[in-house]
Structure 1
């Protein structure tokens, strides 16, 4: 009796595989990518609980439990690094995240197709520049001695400002760089979502006397609300990831007090000093915080009637 249901189950799987073979082959590269680069490397999380030695390996290194986490939380630099990471992420969340939505709404209102495509190309272009180039441009623009902006300030009779070595300007510079580089690319998803809005809704709104602003507020934004919520939840999950390359290139001794974040700290301690177990513990701490934030944000979204991520 137990063998027949098993054969039926296996035959059903075989029929499904034969019927949708090409669909499974289509998703196979994606599955392999996540297995090889996401799931298999999770085995390395074990060294956060070990005094890991590359010569002894995972199996023979001594277990130390939560010693590295105790060291992290007891570190006098922990709260400074945590503060810097959170402030930079929150600035990006508050000032950067809404801008692609606003830009998408404005671009959607452009009626001349050639002009719309031109604007899209212009705002997309910085995304394809590396952070090395972006930071190089920033130095050329903001340098106290040779920067264009300081030359203009001096020309109009104002004192030069040392933007690059003044801690008060550092967080603002990072946020402005991120906005300039990525705001155009961020519009891709929102423009695609807007393109899927039923045109009959706009026609009904026009018949009711709604202008373009009211159409954006009462038709477009509600139609893409689910996309906004999902991207916001995912962005909250990455709140501890502020980007290593940008900050590392912009950081110098004068601004290290406000520039050191977990990504640069892991590089300095884990790579340069060879403390693999400790740096893995820092990375695991970041991941746990991100997971908790995603779960919390998703439950909050569902509580307010949104679909959420899952």
Structure 2
């Protein structure tokens, strides 16, 4: 029996195909071969072969819808500057994990090692701690939400002076260490959104307090974003059938106060706000099932309003 590791197939079959696909798409988006070579970590000569169609590859990956979608997403991100090498690597690693779970990599592995056929082999995914998977998914969700916020027109005007943050809790979260957010918060520099770091658990006390209060009342609500309170945004929410909840800015236990207000309302509102107090800037929270869902709602609210 030949002993073949799945990682060998990733290096020998998957990676050359994806590099060729990326090179072609980046060239189509106007990048030079030198720029493409720098992004892909290969020589310019290799890029020339990829672009000319001489780079080979495996049609099993080239025709796989998930691979195509991921490559297109990376190509768009790299060519526009919205994605860096870390982002691209995260996307590719997630794709590899997916393709190893009864996907094309798994199928190739069974071809190379026929003794695996018919066994329903799950060696590549067996034993993955569910808690680790949940943490990874939450971090990825917050990271995607933060990138989405940076691309929203007018978002810079909606960032309060204290900064914006986006958070998401793990299922059955107990304290702020179970909530992922952006360390140092998200700030507006001119018309640009600055995301200082990748998300971490326990990175934000304020957004964690709001998320935990919401998830305690409704476990389905695990994402939240804080933005500046603005009458136009509140009216945009009302026009979409939402009833923003006002709460007090000046209180000793913010988490308890929010939980009480949510319970009085009979559930967690999509939008909750306060008008500020002495030394406290007016802030609005947008709640949703996930951080990405919350970012999408912020985008919807800002479509029809220019925050003051």
TM class, shorter-length: under 0.3
The structure richer in strand per residue is 2
Structure number with bigger Rg: 1
The structure richer in helix per residue is 1
Q: Does 1 or 2 have the higher relative contact order (CA < 8 Å, sep 6+)?
A: 1
